[in-house]
Structure 1
Amino acid sequence: MESRTVTPVSSFFDLLLDAVCAVDVEGRFVFVSAACERIFGYTAEELVGTSMIELVLPADRERTLKAAAQIMAGEPKPHFENRYVRKDGQVVHIMWSARWSEVDRLRIAVARDITALKLAEAKQAALYAISEAAHATEDLLALFQRVHQIVGEWLPAQSFCVALYDGARDQLSFPYHMDDRRAPGNVDGHCAQIVRSGQPLLHNEAEAPCLGVPLSSQNGIIGALLAKSSGGERYTGHDQDLLQFVSAQVAAAIERKQLHARLQYMARYDQLTHLPNRGFLQERLKAALGRARREQGRLALLYVDLDKFKQVNDNFGHAVGDLLLQEVARRLQQCVRETDTVARIGGDEFVILLEQLHLGDAAAQVADKIRRLLNEPMVWDECELSIMPSIGIALYPENGEEAQQLFKHADEAMYGMKRGAGVH
C-alpha cells in the first residue's frame, strides 16, 4: 500500500490570493501566508514577531485597536477596513475577515487588498461630486471651494490651491488658495513648475509633503492643482492618480464656466468699448426705478450723441473711429460715480444712468462736465480730434415714471440740442 505525503495546511494558504495571518494576544504576527509579501511588501520572516499595529496607517490605528479588542472579546469582524503602510511607503486599503480562536489564543484573519477598488470608487464619486458642483455653483470660487472639500475626503488636503495660467500674458493667478502656513513663493514655484513641465509633482519631505498636478484641457495646460499635507502624512501614487483624475474633471468644468461667463459678458456688454449694452442698461434701469419708487428717490438718464461722428469715419477710417469711441467711453466713465452706469446703445450713442440724485441740477452738472471733457483734443499718432456731444436729459419722476417714457424724453431732448434748442 502506497504511503501519501501529507501537505502542510500552510502550503495551501500560500496558494491563495488573499493573505492569511495569525496575531497573538500581544498583537504580534505569529504566522503569515505568502500573499502577505505581495500585499504589504514584507517577507514572512520580516513580519513574524512584528507588532501588527506598527504597520497600520497612523490615522487608522485607534479604530483598528478598538476592532481588535472586540474580536478578542468574541465578536467576529467579517468586513473591517483599514489602511496599512507598505514597506515601500505606499498606502494600501485592506478588508479584513477576522475572528478570535480561544483554543489557540490567536486572532485569525484573512486580508484582501481593495486598493484598486477604493481608487475606482473614489474616482466615480469624484466624477459625480464635481459634476454636481459644476452645475450647482454660481462661479469659479464656489466651485473651487467645493473641489477642495471633495479632494479632502480622499487625501490629505489641509492646504489646497488652484492656479490658473494665462498663456497670452504668461501669468499665473491664484483664484483659490487655502493655506494658513504658506511659505512665500513656495506654492507659486511649485505651480509654475507643474505648468511649465506639464507633469505631476510629488514631494514627500517630512515637514511639508505636497502633491500637484496640471490642469489640462484640449487647449493645453490651463493651470494646476496643489495639495499640501500639513499633518505630515505622505502622498502615494494612488493619491496622485486620483488627483490627476480630479484635475481632468475640474479643467473641463473650468472651461465650461469660463465659456458661460464669456457668453454672458458678450450678451450684456459692448465688445468695442466694454460698456454695458442696451439690454443690460434696461435691466439696470428697471432695478434703479424700483429702488427710486421704494425710497422716493430721484434719477436721471443722459442721452449722449457724438456730433459729426460719421465724418470721422469717412475722413480718417473706421480704425480711428473705433479708437475715438473707446476714448469717449473712458472719458464718460470719468464723469460719473462708480454706482452710475455708462452704456453704449449703438453707433455713436451712449446713455448714462445717474442714481440717487440729491441736487436738482446734478444731472445738468454732469452733462456740462461731459461736454468739457469730450471737447478736449484726442490724439493718436499724427491724428488730433475734438468732438462735441449733444446731450438730452430725462429726470425721474418729473419727465416720466417708466423706462420707456424716460428714454423717449431723453432722446427728444438730445435731438432738440442738435437743432440748437438747448439741453433739456
Structure 2
Amino acid sequence: MDHLDRAFLANVMDLMLDAVCVVDTEGRFVFVSAAGERIFGYAPQDLIGRPMIELVHPEDRERTLDAVAEIVADHHKPIFENRYVRKDGRVVHLMWSARWSPADGVRVAVARDVTARKRAEAVQAALYAISEAAHAAEDLMALFARIHRIIDGLLPAKNFFVALYDAPGDWLSFPYFVDELDAAPPPGALDAETLCAEVIRSGRERLFSRDPADAVPAPMHPDVGRTAVDWLGVPLGGPQGVIGALVLKSHSRDVRYGAAEVELLKFVSAQIAAAIERKQTQLRLLHVAQHDPLTGLPNRSLVRDRVAMALARARRDGGGLALLYLDLDDFKPVNDRFGHAVGDGLLQQVAQRLKHCVRASDTVGRMAGDEFVVLLAQLHAPGDAALVAEKIREALCQPFEIAGHAVVVSPSIGLVGYPADGEDGDQLIHRADQAMYAAKRAGGNRVCVLPCGDAFGIGAT
C-alpha cells in the first residue's frame, strides 16, 4: 500500500504545471517532477545527481545560495525568485516555495515559471523608459544610446543599430551603429539591395540566419556583417510612414533570435518611432528658436549662451578666449544697387566664409543685419586670435559671386579677450561691439582692439 501511495503521489506531482524538486544536502537533485522538463528543458532523469546551482543564472547564484542558507536555518521560505538557464540557453524566471526537511536531509521546493509575467513587466517598464528618454535625452545620439540600453534589457542586443530614412531626399543613413565586428555602412539611397532597405521599403520585419533553410534571398544582402549568425530588423513606423529601422545582429551561435524576439522588438518599435519623431520635432523647434533663419548661424540668444559656457570653462581651466565682433563696410549700397535678394545671398556667403576660417569648436553667430560674432574658445597662444581676425578680414575682402554679380565688401572687426577685457559675457560682447565701431570710424577694412588688447599681439590700426 505504501508503494502504491508513493506511486500515486508521484503521478499526482507529474500532473502539476509547477515543478516539484527535491535536493540533498550537497545541493544535488534527487527528484524532479515531469514539469521540470518543460521548465528546465532537461528530462527529469538527466537532472538527477546534478548540482542545482549549475542551472542557476550566474548573476543569481550568490543570492540563491544565501536563500538556501535561510531555508536550512528557518526550514521554510514561502517566496523566492531567481533565473535559471534552460538546456537551449534561454533564461527562465522562476518563483520558488521551499522547505527544509531535517529528518530527511533534503530541501523540497516547488518552482513556477513566471517568465511571461516578468517579460510583460519588463516590456511595460521599457515602454515607459522609452517615453521618458524622448524628453530627457539631449539629442538624437543620446536618445539612441538610451534606447539601445533599454532594448538590451529585454533581449540580447550587443550588436544594434538604427537606420533612418529621409523620404524627401530619398536618403538612408545609419546615425547610431554599435557592432563588435563591423563598421557603420555609408549612407545611400533606399533602392539598395540590402536587408535594411528592404525592411523600410516593405514596412515588414525580417529575420534571417546563416542556416541553409533560412538563408538571405538573392539579390539581398546585409548592409554589413555578412558573417552574422542572425540578422533581425523591424521597421520604425510613424504617422508619416516608415521613418527607419531597428536592427539586431548576432555573431555567435550562443545568441539566437526567433519568433519571440521578433514579436518583442515589433511591439516596442512603435513607441521607439514615436520617441524618435518627438525628439526630432523638439530639436527642429529648438534649432528654429536659436538660429538665424537666413544664414543658419546661432542667433543673438544662442551666442550669449555659448559665450557664457566658454567663460565658465575658461574660469575652470584657467584658459582664455577671444570675441570678434564684425560688420560689413558698405553693405547698404549692395542692397540699394542690387536688391535685397543679392544682399541676403551676400550674408549667406559671408556666414560660410566665416565658418571656414575657424575651428569646428568655435562659434560663428549673426547678431543682427550685417553684424556677426566669432567666439574663439580654448586659445593656445596669445597671438592666435589676431591671426584668425586677419584671416577673416582677408577672406571677406575677396569678391563674392552672387546671382551673376561680383560683389566686393570689407569688414570692420573689433577684437576683445578674456580675462583682459572683461569677466562677463555681456560686457565682452559690448566691448567687442565698441572696438568694431572704432574700426569703422577709422575707415573700415581693419581689425581694432581696445587699449588693453595688446595681449593679442595686435594694435589698433
Tell me the TM-score normalised to structure 2 length: 0.64
Bigger drift between 355-364 and 162-171 goes to 355-364
Question: Match of 1:225?
Answer: 246
Q: Provide the aligned C-alpha RMSD in A.
A: 5.2
- Whether contact under 8 Å (1:303, 1:414) holds in the other structure is no
Residue 221 of structure 1, CA deviation = 1.9
What is the distance in 2 between the residues matched to 1:149 and 1:196?
27
The answer on 1:385 being equivalent to 2:406 is yes
Code of the aligned partner of 1:344:
R
Partner residue of 1:265 out of 287, 290, 300: 287
Q: 1:294 to 1:190 in 2, by over 3 A?
A: closer
Partner residue of 2:277 out of 255, 263, 285: 255
Question: Match of 1:358?
Answer: 383
- Larger gyration radius, structure 1 or structure 2: 1
Question: Match of 1:407?
Answer: 433
Residue 369 of structure 1, CA deviation = 0.6
- Extract unaligned runs of 5+ from structure 1: 1-7
Question: Match of 1:180?
Answer: 180
Question: Match of 1:305?
Answer: 328
Question: Match of 2:298?
Answer: 276
- For residues 127-149 of structure 1, the C-alpha deviation after alignment (integer angstroms, 9 at most, x for no partner) is 23334444444333333333333
- For residues 229-273 of structure 1, the C-alpha deviation after alignment (integer angstroms, 9 at most, x for no partner) is 334333233322322233233223222332332233223321221
- Whether contact under 8 Å (1:298, 1:358) holds in the other structure is no
Q: 1:212 to 1:83 in 2, by over 3 A?
A: farther
Residue 60 of structure 1, CA deviation = 5.5
What is the distance in 1 between the residues matched to 2:144 and 2:358?
35
Question: Match of 1:323?
Answer: 345
What is the distance in 1 between the residues matched to 2:232 and 2:304?
48
- Whether contact under 8 Å (2:236, 2:270) holds in the other structure is yes
What is the distance in 1 between the residues matched to 2:128 and 2:15?
39
Q: 1:198 to 1:306 in 2, by over 3 A?
A: farther
Residue 223 of structure 1, CA deviation = 2.0
Q: 1:130 to 1:53 in 2, by over 3 A?
A: farther
- Whether contact under 8 Å (1:28, 1:50) holds in the other structure is no
Q: 1:93 to 1:209 in 2, by over 3 A?
A: farther
User: 2:412 is paired with a residue of what secondary structure?
Assistant: strand
Question: Match of 2:195?
Answer: 190
Instruction: Name the % identity.
Output: 38
Code of the aligned partner of 1:304:
D
- For residues 289-324 of structure 1, the C-alpha deviation after alignment (integer angstroms, 9 at most, x for no partner) is 674998685745332125244653774453x43322
Code of the aligned partner of 2:412:
I
- For residues 166-218 of structure 1, the C-alpha deviation after alignment (integer angstroms, 9 at most, x for no partner) is 223333322332221339979x9333222222212223546712332222222
Residue 378 of structure 1, CA deviation = 0.6
What is the distance in 2 between the residues matched to 1:363 and 1:184?
36
Code of the aligned partner of 1:327:
Q
Bigger drift between 282-291 and 119-128 goes to 282-291
Tell me the TM-score normalised to structure 1 length: 0.69
- Whether contact under 8 Å (1:307, 1:387) holds in the other structure is no
Question: Match of 2:154?
Answer: 154
- Whether contact under 8 Å (1:163, 1:176) holds in the other structure is yes
Q: 1:201 to 1:338 in 2, by over 3 A?
A: closer
- Whether contact under 8 Å (1:151, 1:157) holds in the other structure is yes
- Whether contact under 8 Å (1:215, 1:248) holds in the other structure is yes
Residue 411 of structure 1, CA deviation = 3.3
- After TM superposition, list the pairs within 5 Å mapping 1:47-62 onto structure 2: none
Residue 377 of structure 1, CA deviation = 4.2
Question: Match of 2:367?
Answer: 345
What is the distance in 2 between the residues matched to 1:175 and 1:21?
50
Give the aligned length: 396
Partner residue of 1:216 out of 237, 241, 245: 237
User: 1:224 is paired with a residue of what secondary structure?
Assistant: strand
Residue 333 of structure 1, CA deviation = 3.0
Code of the aligned partner of 1:343:
G
Question: Match of 2:207?
Answer: 202
Q: 1:298 to 1:201 in 2, by over 3 A?
A: closer
Q: 1:123 to 1:347 in 2, by over 3 A?
A: same
- For residues 3-44 of structure 1, the C-alpha deviation after alignment (integer angstroms, 9 at most, x for no partner) is xxxxx999988997x3678999997999758xx99x78x9xx
User: 1:203 is paired with a residue of what secondary structure?
Assistant: strand
User: 1:180 is paired with a residue of what secondary structure?
Assistant: coil
- For residues 115-168 of structure 1, the C-alpha deviation after alignment (integer angstroms, 9 at most, x for no partner) is 432331121221233344444443333333333333223322232222222223
User: 1:260 is paired with a residue of what secondary structure?
Assistant: helix
User: 1:157 is paired with a residue of what secondary structure?
Assistant: coil
